[in-house]
Structure 1
Amino acid sequence: MSSELVLVSGASGFVGTAVTLAFLEKGFRVRGTVRSQDKADKWEAKHPQYKGKIEWAIVKDIAEKGAFDEAIKGVTLVAHTASPFHYDVKDNERDMLIPALEGTRQILRAAQKEPSVKRVVLTSSFASVLDFDKLGPETTFTEKDWNPATYDSAKKADQPPYIYCASKKIAEEEAWKIAKEPETKWDLCTVCPPMVLGPISQPVGSLDAINTSAGAVWAVVDAKEVPETTFPVWVDVRDIADIHVKGVTEDIAKGKRYLCIAGHYDNTQIASIARKAFPDQASRIPDAKPSDGSPHFKTDSSLVEKELGIKWIGFEQCIKDTLSSIFEVEKELKGSK
């Protein structure tokens, strides 16, 4: 149990909710940032056991100057999970680059001014590690690798996945820059997950509003054929939440960057697991023979496994739990009509 106060930005999101729950379950006090009181109310309705046990701070725009100055007061630990993850990009800077970069900059500048802050963990991404020119099987990515994308290249790009990946790299790069400034008194840890799967525990108003990564699992349901695999590496959101907690509580995590990849997968595996695990829903899931997938890069997440003692949730369990949670949401939404 701990009486320390943790600030979780983006607390009503997919990763943010899992991180918030992980801290609460460990006995920490949590202050979560959300864009509106309505989001806070819906979160508490989803998790009534924590009603009144979590503080809420309204931060309408994470990129606004001084956005976190009030929310961070009295906080000792910070988990910054808030950052856009979608491919609906109409304006590269407005929709992706500025929110990612300025959101990180504003929360870390606020942390510099708040003397109680001791540690910050940042939700970065495998997107900040990979290099689009080196995705072949001869490459093994580790936490030492960096995406070569720049702000200028992303500003001019016309491919949303590239722009998103660049936004994560630019934001994490800024975080390490600020962490090394003389006025910074806290330690930084960054977490770099790939596609984050696992059960959804955030409030969802419609199935169309499911977060992008869990939505990739849901995409096999009611599909005429198994969709093409978006990105072939995954991790369970519950493991990522655990790593966030350890990232701000374990001494060994100070100043560390962790690549957090549980394994590699193909969407045909999702379909196969789903048909077997949910026989009552099998008619909605296309039949496909499991594929070995196209040859692609390798990854090495041994550092986080060794230093933080992470034992990954298995892929089959992850997919079962992901779909079970979404089927439950589907049932609830139908019942509310």
Structure 2
Amino acid sequence: MSSDLVLVSGTTGFLGTAVTLAYLKKGYRVRGTARSSEKAQKWEKKHADQFEQGKLEWAIVKDIAAEGAFDEAIKGVTILAHTASPFHYDVKDNEKDMLIPARDGTRHALRAAQKESSVKRVVVTSSFAAVLDFNRMSPDVTFSHEDWNPATWDEAKKSDNPTYVYCASKKLAEEEAWKIAKEPETKFRLSTICPPLITGPPQQVIESLDSLNTSSGAVWGVVDAEKIPDTSFPVGTDVRDIADLHVLASTTDEGADKRFLTIAFHFDNTQIAAIARKSFPELKDRVVEAPVSEGSPHFSTDASLAEKTFGFKWISFEQSVKDTLAEILKVEKELKH
């Protein structure tokens, strides 16, 4: 059992829930952030049987991009796991609505950690978006943890492509994290995790399937569709693996000062549909039968740093899809009653 106190930003979200549960299962004390007491209470009620009483406390942070947002929450913390990221599709001004909130959310969290002498380790959830290069997406390209999205602030500010702006915002936020980590007054050691589309069972509080997080929605999207939706992005990793890697990156010596590209599998939505039809008889009439495809030719990825550093074994694509669908089907039944 550890006496370390871990601050997890964004506990009530899809990834934040998995990360919080991963630390709690390893015996860490966790202070989770939520936007309201109501959200915190609902989350705790749902997961009360999964951790020891007294191991979880809450800090209410209404806006992670606000100046001083984490100044109170960080007090007495040993490890910061910054998973929260302001993201929405209502982008009218690239800078104000996307770039500044993404950068400042990370900046305020790490500045708070920099000022708090108890903080020894920080892990930041970045993204494969911070790695990829839109001009190098062909099959002869392999992306690894050493690659960086070349997008600049000025390019993203002027772009009329929301996907490009989002990817740039992830790169610029992670860049800010490494900049602060290298400042002479910084005493903590930083690690970053760069996941792609995150699959796996959603464990957050879900009050409507319409509010399902985007990545779970990508798997569920083959259900009740007239045709198999186009694959939004062909690389994925299970949320439980991403959560475990946050813990490993922030609690081991070998995980410090590293950037991990965390991609477990490449896939096409026709493969999700085939798994759904084969594994869930109740979905046969709700999922279109279609020829299984390997998908369009695209880049390769190298996630071997995580494998070598921790001896990490990934949850398989099939298992991840099965567990995702099983959990959403369970939620669907609960919401109907």
Q: By the TM > 0.5 criterion, same fold?
A: yes
Matching residue of 2:26: 26
- With structure 2 as the length reference, what TM-score do the two structures score? 0.97
Paired position in structure 2 for 1:8: 8
CA 207–52 in structure 1, closer or farther in 2 if over 3 Å, else same = farther
* Alignment correspondent of 1:92: 94
Aligned partner of 1:233 in structure 2 is: 235
Once the two structures are overlaid, the 10-residue window that deviates more, 234-243 or 276-285, is 276-285
Query: Which residue of structure 2 lines up, in the alignment, with residue 267 of structure 1?
Result: 269
- In 2, the alpha carbon distance for the partners of 1:35 and 1:275 equals 38
Q: Secondary structure at the match of 2:326?
A: helix
When the two structures are aligned, how many residues end up with a matched partner? 335
Determine which of 45, 51, 55 is the counterpart of 2:57.
Answer: 55
| Paired position in structure 1 for 2:298 | 296
Q: Is the 8 A contact 2:22 2:244 kept in 1?
A: yes
- In structure 1, C-alpha distance between the alignment counterparts of 2:268 and 2:19, rounded to whole Å: 26
Question: Residue by residue, what CA displacement relative to the aligned partner does 1:114-146 show, whole Å, maximum 9, x if unpaired?
Answer: 000000000000000000010000100000000
Mapped partners of 1:70, 1:223: distance in 2: 46
The whole-number CA distance in structure 2 between the counterparts of 1:280 and 1:185 is 54
Q: Give the 5 Å matches for 1:33-112.
A: 33-49=33-49, 50=51, 52-112=54-114
Contact 2:86-2:105 at 8 Å conserved across structures: no
Q: How far apart in 1 are the matches of 2:259 and 2:99?
A: 21
Task: Give the deviation of 1:93 after TM superposition.
Answer: 2.6
Q: Point out the more displaced range, 88-97 or 124-133.
A: 88-97
In the aligned structure 2, how far is the partner of 1:180 from the partner of 1:122? 15
Match of 2:318 in 1: 316
Paired amino acid for 2:305: L
User: For residues 94 and 237 of structure 1, do their structure 2 counterparts lie closer, same or farther at Cα, with a shift above 3 Å needed?
Assistant: same
Q: Is the contact made by 1:187 and 1:255 (CA closer than 8 Å) also made in structure 2? A: yes
Cα pair 2:270 2:290 within 8 Å, conserved? yes
* Matched AA of 1:148: P
* Alignment RMSD: 1.1
Q: For residue 133 of structure 1, what is the aligned residue in structure 2?
A: 135
Given candidates 285, 294, 306, the residue that maps to 2:287 is: 285
Partner of residue 207, structure 1: 209
Bigger shift: 148-157 or 292-301?
A: 148-157
Distance 1:177 1:56, change over 3 A: same
TM (norm. structure 1) is 0.97
Residues 131 and 148 in structure 2, CA contact (< 8 A), matched pair in contact too: yes
Instruction: Report the residue type matching 2:278 in the other structure.
Output: K
CA apart distance, 1:281: 1.7
Change (3 A) 1:272 1:85: farther
Post-superposition shift, 1:89? Answer: 2.7
In structure 2, give the amino acid aligned to 1:39.
Answer: K
2: CA distance between counterparts of 1:310 and 1:244? Answer: 12
Rounded Cα–Cα distance in structure 1 between residues aligned with 2:331 and 2:301: 33
User: Which letter maps to 1:46?
Assistant: K
CA contact (8 A) 2:28 2:55 kept: no
Q: Which residue of 1 aligns with 2:308?
A: 306
- Sequence identity percentage: 68
Q: Deviation string for 1:282-311 (max 9, x for gaps)? A: 111111111011110000001110001210
Shift, 1:90, TM fit = 3.2
SS of corresponding position for 1:6: strand
CA shift for structure 1 position 199: 0.2
Report deviation, 1:331: 1.0
Tell me, which stretches of 5 or more residues in structure 1 are unaligned?
none
Instruction: Tell me how far apart the structure 2 counterparts of residues 306 and 265 of structure 1 sit (CA, whole Å).
Output: 23
Q: Secondary structure at the match of 1:47?
A: helix
Give the Å deviation of 1:84.
3.0
Per-residue deviation, 1:32: 0.5
Write the distance in 1 (CA, Å) between the matches of 2:135 and 2:118: 43
2:221 maps to: 219
Letter in 1 for 2:165: I
* TM-superposition CA deviations, 1:72-105 (whole Å, max 9, x none): 0000001000003444433323332222110100
Distance 1:330 1:173 in 2: 40
Q: Is the 8 A contact 1:112 1:185 kept in 2?
A: yes
2:253 pairs with one of 227, 243, 251 = 251
